[in-house]
Amino acid sequence: MHIAVPGDIIIHIREDANILIRIYTKIISLRITFNKVYAKKIGIGLSAVLPVLLVLLVCWPNPVSTASEKNKTITFAGNDKFPPYSYLADSSPTGFFVDITKLIASESDLDIRIKLMPWDKCLSGLRTGKIDVLIGAPFDEKSKKFMSFSVPIHELNFSIFVNMDNYHVNSLSSLEGAVVAVRRWSPIVSNVDKHKSIKFVKTGSILEALEKLQNRDVTAIIVERNTALYYISKYRIDDIKMVQGTISTPYKYTFSVKPDNEDLLAILNSGIELIKETDTLEILRRRWLGIPNSRHFPWKIVIVSTALLSGLMLLIAGVLWVIFLNATIKIKTQQIKDMHQKMVEKDKLAVLGKLSGQIAHELRTPLSIIHNSIYLLEAEGAEDKDIFKKRLTVLEDKVKLCSNILESILSYSRIKAEIAAPISLKECMEEVLHDLDLSEKIQTKVTFSDKYLLTVFMDYRQLYSVLRNLMLNSIQAMNNEGKLTISVGPSDNNRTITIRLVDTGPGIAGSVRNKIFNLFYSSNITGTGLGLPISRSIIEANNGQLYLEETSQSGSCFIIKLPSSKNKK
């Protein structure tokens, strides 16, 4: 709104004058509604003063509003690749920020020219004076040295975008060690540069960053949300997704001018406040950014739907609570049973440890005496030395067997290996087979895929005890008549070695398959129920596995897996 005065000067009415006009109108209305005596006196006095003040404010010269300044063309510049805020459509400037600029120019009666170009050229143009105002400049405290900012016109959010098959990136901290693209001159750069462990690649535009992400040149991009979604929608990019949430607080975008152009900045601020008051800014936001128009809210439908939904949710919650409670009771009951079983086994282990220690102490002395007696008898000789030596050999083998049995009992009380070293499975296997002295009715077939690689790192006596126990179990299951097949080879890319023992016995009954590794359980009347539990404990103490792979009426197969010593550092 403006009026003409002598001297061809155009003087714009200030906001103060508009306020006074509204006050004056209110006072006129008060003269009708207030007490006639007092309102009349007050109204007459103010009615005489306010028009004078109004005329003075209207006619007071404004140095920035002369006809010469009004006719000056003001150049606005913005980023040409920043949709939907500012971009070129058919070589014409368009976008949310561009429409705001045109609206403010119209309200403030400014003659403007809008140019869109790369942002670095916009900045250099402002410094050299070729450009008067920057459109959509991010507010930055560091930039106050060479530009002044208007009040904010919009706030922009920045988000992380990744490929559709990327599920591990969910925050800025999850990008440590990754390559990430950001738009050069973006305000987010100063924030993300603090993360030294992330390698940042700066691009000329958000579209270029999206292309790098599509080509998998980078792990993720950090860009302005609406611009990225604009390009994704326009070019139908379906292999990129946005990580939910923003990575920082919104950034304020403004108009910016040179520090010495405060008069123009005041006009811009006045125009921004005016379009905010009239809701014009919100209308533009709805048009460009998809913010829905406000409509009458269906309270009745919402209340009824909420009540029905709440009742349904309460019913579902009650049913789920009962199910959850029953499941929890079952889980807790099973946990109590498992804990009880472990405690029983622990008690058995403690008793066995004490018993085995006492047995070892009592039997070591007589065994030593027997061994020394054999040595003396052999040294003294006999009439028939061949027969006598044969008997002594048998007696010595029995002593050795008793000692091995004793060691197997002791092994459960000291599962941890005492002397660990690389062991050749081939040598250990051959020694076990030799010591067993198998009958002719037992056929054995042993295969080694690579005898030089088949070494493990553990105590030799413990490995010997495990192999001997498993072989004896197989022989007893076949009633000393059948075939024992043993195969040894690398597995898991040479990280482990697998030993497979297959017999031709009657198999293990289904009712006892889950009990064979339980302490003190044995299906053999003369058995102690220690062999398999001891063997499994030894193997697991050496980071291995021992389990029953399969069993049937034609035989059973046990598997031993141990780490290869070749991988031990």
CA angle in degrees (0–180, nearest 5) for 216-219-221: 100
Does 408 reside within a domain? no
Do 258 and 238 belong to one domain? no
Mean pLDDT of the chain: 78
Residue 75 is predicted with a pLDDT of: 95
Residue 356 is predicted with a pLDDT of: 67
* 240-286 per-position pLDDT tens digit: 999 977 676 789 999 999 999 999 999 999 999 988 888 788 888 88
> Do 250 and 86 meet the contact criterion of CB atoms below 8 Å apart?
no
CA 36 – CA 29 distance, rounded (Å): 12
Tell me which amino acid residue 463 is: L
Do 532 and 459 belong to one domain? yes
Q: What is the mean pLDDT of residues 320-330?
A: 90
Q: Give the number of C-alpha atoms closer than 13 A to the C-alpha of residue 131, restricted to the C-beta side.
A: 24
Do 442 and 545 belong to one domain? yes
Does 405 reside within a domain? no
Query: Lowest-confidence range among 31-35, 204-208, 298-302?
Result: 31-35
CATH code: domain of residue 147: 3.40.190.10
Do 552 and 436 belong to one domain? yes
Q: Which residue is listed with tokens 């006045």? A: 270
**CA distance to 132, 147, 258, 319, per residue, from 128 (Å):** 10, 12, 10, 73
Residue 451 is predicted with a pLDDT of: 58
pTM of the complete model: 0.42
Residue 115 is predicted with a pLDDT of: 95
* Pairing label, strands 482-491, 442-448: parallel
- Region for 555 from its dihedrals, namely left if φ exceeds 0, alpha if ψ lies in -120 to 50, beta otherwise: left
> Do 474 and 505 meet the contact criterion of CB atoms below 8 Å apart?
yes
Does 294 reside within a domain? no
Q: 220 pLDDT exceeds 90? A: yes
Who contacts 371 (Cβ-Cβ below 8 Å, separation ≥6)?
A: 396, 399
- Region for 550 from its dihedrals, namely left if φ exceeds 0, alpha if ψ lies in -120 to 50, beta otherwise: beta
Dihedral of the alpha carbons of 176, 182, 187, 188, in degrees to the nearest 10: -20
Do 244 and 266 belong to one domain? no
Residue 39 is predicted with a pLDDT of: 43
Domain C-terminal end among 38, 65, 92: 65
* 346-377 per-position pLDDT tens digit: 766 666 665 566 566 556 656 766 766 676 66
Q: 41 pLDDT exceeds 90? A: no
Residue 362 is predicted with a pLDDT of: 53
Q: What is the mean pLDDT of residues 203-213?
A: 93
Residue 33 is predicted with a pLDDT of: 41
Residue 94 is predicted with a pLDDT of: 95
Helices 15-33, 36-59: inter-axial angle, 10-degree rounding: 160
Instruction: Count the neighbouring beta carbons within 10 Å of the beta carbon of residue 425.
Output: 22
Q: Give 383's DSSP letter.
A: S
Domain C-terminal end among 18, 38, 65: 65
> Do 467 and 497 meet the contact criterion of CB atoms below 8 Å apart?
no
Token pair of 55 as six digits: 């005329």
Does 397 reside within a domain? no
Do 61 and 209 belong to one domain? no
CA 178 – CA 186 distance, rounded (Å): 20
Query: Lowest-confidence range among 54-63, 228-237, 465-474?
Result: 54-63
Residue 345 is predicted with a pLDDT of: 73
Q: Which residue has the higher pLDDT, 48 or 274?
A: 274
Do 61 and 88 belong to one domain? no
Does 400 reside within a domain? no
Residue 29 is predicted with a pLDDT of: 43
Helices 262-277, 280-289: inter-axial angle, 10-degree rounding: 80
Q: 45 pLDDT exceeds 70? A: no
- For the chain, the straight-line distance linking the first and the last C-alpha, in angstroms and rounded, comes to 86
Query: Lowest-confidence range among 25-29, 49-53, 294-298, 364-368?
Result: 25-29
Do 138 and 182 belong to one domain? no
Token pair of 139 as six digits: 């507010």
- Region for 492 from its dihedrals, namely left if φ exceeds 0, alpha if ψ lies in -120 to 50, beta otherwise: left
**Residue of 412, 424, 419 lying closest to 499 (CA atoms):** 424
DSSP per residue, 442-489:
EEEEEEES-TTT-EEEEEHHHHHHHHHHHHHHHHHHTTT-EEEEEEEE
Buried b (16+ CB within 10 A) or exposed e, 520-552: eebeeeeeebbbbbbbbbbbebbebebeeeebe
Do 442 and 544 belong to one domain? yes
Residue 249 is predicted with a pLDDT of: 78
Does 363 reside within a domain? yes
Q: Which residue has the higher pLDDT, 57 or 87?
A: 87
Domain that includes residue 234, residue range: 158-249
* 420-432 per-position pLDDT tens digit: 888 888 889 888 8
Q: 149 pLDDT exceeds 90? A: yes
Confidence of residue 4 (pLDDT cuts 50, 70, 90): very low
Residue 348 is predicted with a pLDDT of: 66
**Residue of 364, 338, 469 lying closest to 412 (CA atoms):** 469
Q: 17 pLDDT exceeds 60? A: no
Does 403 reside within a domain? no
Do 225 and 168 belong to one domain? yes
CA 218 – CA 109 distance, rounded (Å): 48
Q: What is the mean pLDDT of residues 154-170?
A: 92
Do 425 and 537 belong to one domain? yes
Residue 450 is predicted with a pLDDT of: 73
Instruction: Count the neighbouring beta carbons within 10 Å of the beta carbon of residue 464.
Output: 19
CATH code: domain of residue 425: 3.30.565.10
Do 554 and 457 belong to one domain? yes
Q: 392 pLDDT exceeds 80? A: no
Residue 3: helix, strand or coil by DSSP?
A: strand
DSSP per residue, 385-401:
HHHHHHHHHHHHHHHHH
* 398-424 per-position pLDDT tens digit: 676 566 556 656 655 555 555 788 888
CA 422 – CA 121 distance, rounded (Å): 71
Q: Which residue has the higher pLDDT, 143 or 379?
A: 143
Q: 310 pLDDT exceeds 70? A: yes
DSSP per residue, 331-350:
HHHHHHHHHHHHHHHHHHHH
Q: How many domains does the chain have?
A: 5
* 523-536 per-position pLDDT tens digit: 665 555 677 888 88
Beta bridge partners of 202: 182
Q: 40 pLDDT exceeds 50? A: no
Domain C-terminal end among 65, 81, 97: 65
Does 401 reside within a domain? no
Q: What is the mean pLDDT of residues 489-511?
A: 86
